[in-house]
Structure 1
Amino acid sequence: MNITRFLQAGTNTIIVAAYDPNEGKTPSGKNGPRGDYTFTSGIWQSVWLEPVNEHYIRNIRLLPDIANNQLEVFVEARPAQIKATAFDGKKVVSEISGSTGMKLYIPIKDPKLWSPDNPFLYDLTITLTDNKGNITDEVRSYFGMRDIKLGSVNGIIRPLLNNRFVMQVGLLDQGYWPDGILTAPTEEALLYDMEFTKKAGFNLIRKHMKTEPKRFYYWADKLGLLVWQDMPAIWYQHEDTAKTRSVFRKELNAMIDDLYNSPSIITWVPFNENWGAFDVKEITDWVKKIDPSRLVNGNSGFNNNPDFQKAAGDPGNGDFVDTHIYVGPNGASKPDGKRAASLGEFGGVGLFVQGHMWPVENNAYAYEPTKDRLTDRYVFLMDQVEQLMKYQGLSIAIYTQTTDVEHEVNGILTYDRAVEKMDIERVKAVNKAVIKAGNELNQQMPPDRK
């Protein structure tokens, strides 16, 4: 928001306020009247003030195009000239000049491709100049050259990252905290969860029913963590539909626009388990149209539904056949010839850790009595996942969950992040083994398909 017209000479006081009724008619995810956890309201992400010139860069949109060895750049600003320069460290890779409001293409010869194993990021500088050649604004950013799409691997439809199948082994990450609820207490705390995920051998985070501050996505880009991004659900979507549904669409579009430049995000998830779901087939197609460069999972876990709402079920379109199986993984989806098979949630096995539990009745989908037994159970589940990947066409498995959350004790970490509830070296070993087995499927492809 541009506040120039509100400023007066001398001292100004700026008050930032928000009205958030948290009544379930706007997207709130788990943090709403039918959610599971402590409710919060108001401003919970960073607010900042940034001085700019009269002519400034309002937004940039970056789209890697590895098929043509180039980066598509779109700069939103008043009509003016721009120059975009790509860097590999301090070395200039390429630069191009043009006008705002037009798509520009920066050549990236022999691009270093971004992936979980090699999350290489190019730096980018965009300068805006007036008709006299004076620089009026400059933005520094970054980008990753990567591609995500569906393709056939030995006759099975799977997601391809940079034209290769990468088995997605992920954690359901809800991003809740004992002290800040939706807000991580520090950036170090936010980063801790992500580094732990990487350390434990996972290559994917499903950011569940929540968006995060931009620093989260920066670290996902930097660390090499694939991200499935959920849209927070609305709850009372059958009431005042003209308003609530239009707000949902507006905020879904805004979320995609806000996070568009992050190379780590590979999949959008508009709905989860039919929570607040409406017009699922249409919205799945709509999201695909808004961002055709990513995959879309229209209704993750369509086999489940809340008791207050009839299940919308499988939309039949989008890029995934996605079921949630607790404890699973047996019973997971199979590819249907045009969509990949995903196990959007499974596991949820709990362990009580005295002195590190929320002061309520704690629960999980199943339980083990010790750290060793819980680790054994996880390894066994992932051995089953590998079988499903090799012989039933499964391409994604997302375990519930990163940390305990209030009453839920099915995290790999306790809610206070003080205790690792599994043997992380064994977790890492089995995760890496499953991902490696997925990589080997690429070697079985005919030479002309690699």
Structure 2
Amino acid sequence: MRRTVALTALLSLVAAAAVAPDPAYAAAPAQWRPGTPPISTPWTAEVGPDNALPEYPRPQLVRNKWQSLNGVWQFAGAAEGEAPPFGADLSERVLVPYPIESALSGIQRREDRMWYKRAFRVPTRWQVGGDQRLRLNFGAVDYDATVWVNGTRVATHRGGYDAFSVDVTDALRPTGQQELIVGVTDLTDQTWQPVGKQRNVPDRGIFYTSASGIWQSVWMEPVAAGHIERLAMTPDLGDGSLRLTARAAGGGDLRVEAIAYNGNRVVGRASGPAGTELRLPVRNPKLWSPDSPFLYDLTVKLFDGSRRVDLVTSYFGMREVGTKRGADGKPYMALNGEILFNMSTLDQGFWPDGIYTAPTDEALRFDVAEHRRLGFNTIRKHIKVEPDRWYYWADRLGLMVWQDMPSMRTGGTPPEDARQEFERQLREIVEEHRSWTSITVWVPFNEGWGEWDRVATGRIADEVKAWDPSRLVNAHSGVNCCASHGDSGRGDIIDYHQYLGPASPVPSGDRVAADGEHGGLGLEVEGHMWFGEGHGYEMTPDRATLTERYVRNQRDLLAIANRCGLSAGVYTQITDVEHEVNGFYTYDRQVEKMDFGRVRDVNLAVVRSVDGTGANVPQPPPGTPGLTGVGHWPMDEGSGTVTADAAGDHDGTLVNAPMWTDGRAGSAVLLDGTSQYVDTGAAILDTTGSYTASAWVRLDSLGGFATAVSQDGDSHSAFFLQYSGADNRFAFSFAGIRALAPTAPETGRWYHLTGVRDLSTGSLTLYVDGQRAGTANACLGERSSGHTVIGRGRYNGNPVDFWRGAVDQVRVYDRALSAGEVAQLYATGG
């Protein structure tokens, strides 16, 4: 509590020291009018010209002299190539820093190009000029920005998610009003710029309203020519120190003196040249964790010779991020040397009134605080970068953060120049955010969005790890999903997505396993929706049902975590966003959609119960010995509508009149790829355990999916022994997970396919003609009470993937065959 009071007092003093805007040169507030959002948050009405995010914007590098430039600016849309409007008034008024598409901006429309303009005065007591400089700071401007002061171009910047600053001293007039103009171009998804979920035309799915122009705070501050530009801070528990680098501008003999405090008590000092890494001792440190988010205060002074030229205040937490092997031998994510399950939501950071910008600092804090209330200890900040004060609240309130890089648009392959720009911006975002205590994981790519090459993804993951070895790198969240180029094998985490899920990846080598997205359970709440109807991955009728489904989903997560060695689960999502209605809160943050007490209880139970011991992990029974199997259909009848089960009593019925044809040996069933299949009439396999399916198959055409053997689940087939049209390869699959053959098959040729599900190793393995062809991690399968079928699959409750060609000699086993047994089965023509 003492630490919280100290931090709050510090920032309150800074806010009090800020210079208030002068009404004599600010644009007339009466000319600004807020728009009306479809729905409003509890903070919408609190926003006005005099209180547009007035807090000091940069909590990790605080100076006591500063002036906010948030508030009402002049505004106009612009044409390509248009000259800056020097000396001219613009016709509209915009409230900075709310993006122009937002209601709070007062513009509430899209523009590809735009002008911002305002006047400002430099306080006389700052004595700017000569060695005393004036810096103009921008939290973020989306996307290409050019800044002029009094007609002089002082800065250009590209990138919608990182901050930039500029020394404007030499462009200032000696006295009086100064003219500030910012020109912005933001084409959003018309280009390959990083955009995250923004779209020029938002859809009624998972893409939302764009956020153009100035969307984070703007402020100015006086500094000496020699001044601190950035603090790079990394705690080191190994030697009980903070590794601190104060990067400084200006020449001369610049030296740093840093002092760390616990309240008013000095706990460590360090000094040395600016720009070099100092080791600031913090003996017997109080560790930062979600349960105890303790933070130390920090004062950093910069000296030019013997003269002090700068003083900034900051803070830091002492904690260590890594991995640790559990008693079950699997690697897990760890904090401060102890296994800690990362219980997370997907947090996309959108607002119905401010779009990308929270209406107030209290609103920004609210979303973070509610995670704690709900029993979460982690937030996955999903393909968006937040203002600094968001990370400040995560640090203070004790939330670990997985920080995504905002992705390029989906669809197609980005050109070389876009790839280079993506990587440049990724590095800048890592550098700007490397000192936040709360950030524990970097995520360069999401699913296949903007990814261009699997090898490049692995290289980028290695580079991020080299830039910041103190955190984990999740090379590719959702590597199993969508347009992913596949697992690069790099980074510290293997991450699957599955809706409704949870996903069930298993650790691979030294990489921990994570469910990077699951859930998405939806509920519409009348009067609190962006559109008239909403989308979820599974819709529920009421609050009680939604709560019950969530609790059941999290209990499934607990079972998977203990059985598969899972380190994290990310539930979609903390609030509704536009058309998506799968949040704990409605989009306006007005309605709690679940019983939060039950949510908290089950979340805390998961965190407490996942400890790396492999508790309650069932072992598969030995199964039936021999190569006969528990089901065998030789298909040697050559006529009729039934094929006998030579290993049991589950004869197969030919559905929709398949034909008979010459087989691999004897006859075979010929299927036309539209509606024909063979139904055994029973769920022959226990798909929660280990099992094997094999068949001789011939494809008469390539293209879409075709399934030779499967067993129906409630929604999807529990498994698919198939041809994957998406990959043009044979595969043994679960929904969303495929063990793939390395090469494409030929039509008209017989192949022997065997799919082995081994519960003890959490794997799927495909054999083609007796040889191992591909393997995939899959800890859990789908429970199945439906029939074992030949010649089709089941997906989203519907029959799909009908086989196009012949099938012969189908066998199923209630155990995982060994590689030797599969080879023997093939050699004997089985």
TM over 0.5: yes
Alignment length (residue pairs): 437
Name the amino acid aligned to 2:237.
I
Aligned position for 1:68: 239
Aligned position for 2:765: none
Give the Cα separation in 2 of the matches to 1:244 and 1:202: 36
Contact 2:574–2:585, Cα closer than 8 Å, also in 1: yes
Give the Cα separation in 2 of the matches to 1:116 and 1:240: 39
CA apart distance, 1:327: 0.3
Which string of whole-angstrom CA distances, capped at 9 and with x for unpartnered residues, describes residues 185-214 of structure 1? 111111111111110100010000100000
Aligned position for 2:199: 32
Contact 1:24–1:32, Cα closer than 8 Å, also in 2: no
CA apart distance, 1:367: 1.4
Aligned position for 2:460: 283
The farther-off stretch of 282-291 and 224-233 is 282-291
Choose which of 303, 306, 315 in structure 1 pairs with 2:480.
Answer: 303
Give the Cα separation in 2 of the matches to 1:394 and 1:334: 7
Higher relative contact order by CA 8 Å / sep ≥ 6: 1 or 2?
1
Give the Cα separation in 2 of the matches to 1:119 and 1:10: 47
The farther-off stretch of 234-243 and 100-109 is 234-243
Q: 1:362 is paired with a residue of what secondary structure?
A: coil
Q: 2:464 is paired with a residue of what secondary structure?
A: helix
2:311 equivalent to 1:138: yes
Aligned position for 1:448: none
Choose which of 253, 259, 281 in structure 1 pairs with 2:433.
Answer: 259
Aligned position for 1:18: 184
Aligned position for 2:776: none
Q: 2:185 is paired with a residue of what secondary structure?
A: coil
Name the amino acid aligned to 1:217.
Y
Q: 1:48 is paired with a residue of what secondary structure?
A: strand
Aligned position for 1:447: none
Which string of whole-angstrom CA distances, capped at 9 and with x for unpartnered residues, describes residues 98-132 of structure 1? 1112111011110001000000000000000121x
Give the Cα separation in 1 of the matches to 2:611 and 2:499: 27
CA apart distance, 1:39: 1.9
Give the Cα separation in 1 of the matches to 2:370 and 2:603: 13
CA apart distance, 1:41: 1.4
Give the Cα separation in 2 of the matches to 1:393 and 1:383: 15
Contact 1:24–1:33, Cα closer than 8 Å, also in 2: no
Contact 2:332–2:612, Cα closer than 8 Å, also in 1: no
Give the Cα separation in 2 of the matches to 1:144 and 1:92: 15
Give the Cα separation in 2 of the matches to 1:199 and 1:61: 31
Give the Cα separation in 1 of the matches to 2:498 and 2:169: 53
Give the Cα separation in 2 of the matches to 1:128 and 1:442: 52
Q: 2:311 is paired with a residue of what secondary structure?
A: strand
Contact 1:24–1:236, Cα closer than 8 Å, also in 2: no
Give the Cα separation in 2 of the matches to 1:37 and 1:9: 46
Give the Cα separation in 2 of the matches to 1:359 and 1:324: 27
Give the Cα separation in 2 of the matches to 1:332 and 1:17: 48
The farther-off stretch of 428-437 and 19-28 is 19-28
Aligned position for 1:337: 509
2:321 equivalent to 1:148: yes
Q: 1:18 is paired with a residue of what secondary structure?
A: strand
Structure 1 residues 371 and 149 mapped into 2: Cα distance closer, same or farther (>3 Å)? same
Which string of whole-angstrom CA distances, capped at 9 and with x for unpartnered residues, describes residues 216-263 of structure 1? 000000000000000111127967723211111111111111111101
Aligned position for 2:807: none
Aligned position for 1:8: 173
Contact 1:25–1:237, Cα closer than 8 Å, also in 2: no
Aligned residue runs from structure 1 range 50-449, under 5 A: 50-77=221-248, 78=250, 79-131=253-305, 133-154=306-327, 155-235=329-409, 241-278=415-452, 279-306=456-483, 311-329=484-502, 331-439=503-611, 441=613
Which string of whole-angstrom CA distances, capped at 9 and with x for unpartnered residues, describes residues 133-165 of structure 1? 221001100000011012211211111100001
Which string of whole-angstrom CA distances, capped at 9 and with x for unpartnered residues, describes residues 166-186 of structure 1? 111110000111111111111
The farther-off stretch of 286-295 and 2-11 is 2-11
CA apart distance, 1:8: 2.4
Contact 2:379–2:401, Cα closer than 8 Å, also in 1: yes
Q: 1:315 is paired with a residue of what secondary structure?
A: coil
Give the Cα separation in 2 of the matches to 1:144 and 1:229: 18
Contact 2:441–2:473, Cα closer than 8 Å, also in 1: yes
Contact 1:269–1:298, Cα closer than 8 Å, also in 2: yes
The farther-off stretch of 228-237 and 203-212 is 228-237
Give the Cα separation in 1 of the matches to 2:480 and 2:340: 25
Name the amino acid aligned to 1:314.
D
Name the one with the larger strand percent. 2
Contact 1:269–1:299, Cα closer than 8 Å, also in 2: yes
The farther-off stretch of 91-100 and 70-79 is 70-79
Give the Cα separation in 2 of the matches to 1:220 and 1:230: 15
Structure 1 unpaired stretches of 5+: 444-450
Contact 2:287–2:317, Cα closer than 8 Å, also in 1: yes
Bigger-Rg structure (1/2): 2
CA apart distance, 1:319: 0.8
Name the amino acid aligned to 1:415.
Y
Give the Cα separation in 2 of the matches to 1:94 and 1:263: 18
CA apart distance, 1:439: 4.7
Name the amino acid aligned to 2:192.
K
Contact 2:497–2:516, Cα closer than 8 Å, also in 1: yes
CA apart distance, 1:441: 4.6
Q: 1:49 is paired with a residue of what secondary structure?
A: strand
Give the Cα separation in 1 of the matches to 2:304 and 2:509: 53
Give the Cα separation in 2 of the matches to 1:380 and 1:323: 20
Name the amino acid aligned to 1:9.
P
Give the Cα separation in 2 of the matches to 1:25 and 1:388: 38
TM-score computed with the length of structure 1 as normaliser:
0.94
TM-score computed with the length of structure 2 as normaliser:
0.51
Structure 1 residues 121 and 175 mapped into 2: Cα distance closer, same or farther (>3 Å)? same
Give the Cα separation in 1 of the matches to 2:530 and 2:544: 23
Contact 2:200–2:209, Cα closer than 8 Å, also in 1: no
Q: 1:176 is paired with a residue of what secondary structure?
A: coil
> Percent of aligned positions with the same letter in both sequences?
45
Which string of whole-angstrom CA distances, capped at 9 and with x for unpartnered residues, describes residues 301-344 of structure 1? 011124xxxx3111211011100010011x42111121101000
Name the one with the larger helix percent. 1
CA apart distance, 1:15: 2.3
Q: 2:222 is paired with a residue of what secondary structure?
A: coil
Which string of whole-angstrom CA distances, capped at 9 and with x for unpartnered residues, describes residues 73-113 of structure 1? 11111441110000001100011111112111011110001
Structure 2 unpaired stretches of 5+: 1-165, 616-830
The farther-off stretch of 89-98 and 4-13 is 4-13
Give the Cα separation in 1 of the matches to 2:611 and 2:287: 16
Contact 1:125–1:138, Cα closer than 8 Å, also in 2: yes
CA apart distance, 1:48: 1.4
Q: 1:14 is paired with a residue of what secondary structure?
A: strand
Aligned position for 1:446: none
CA apart distance, 1:10: 1.4
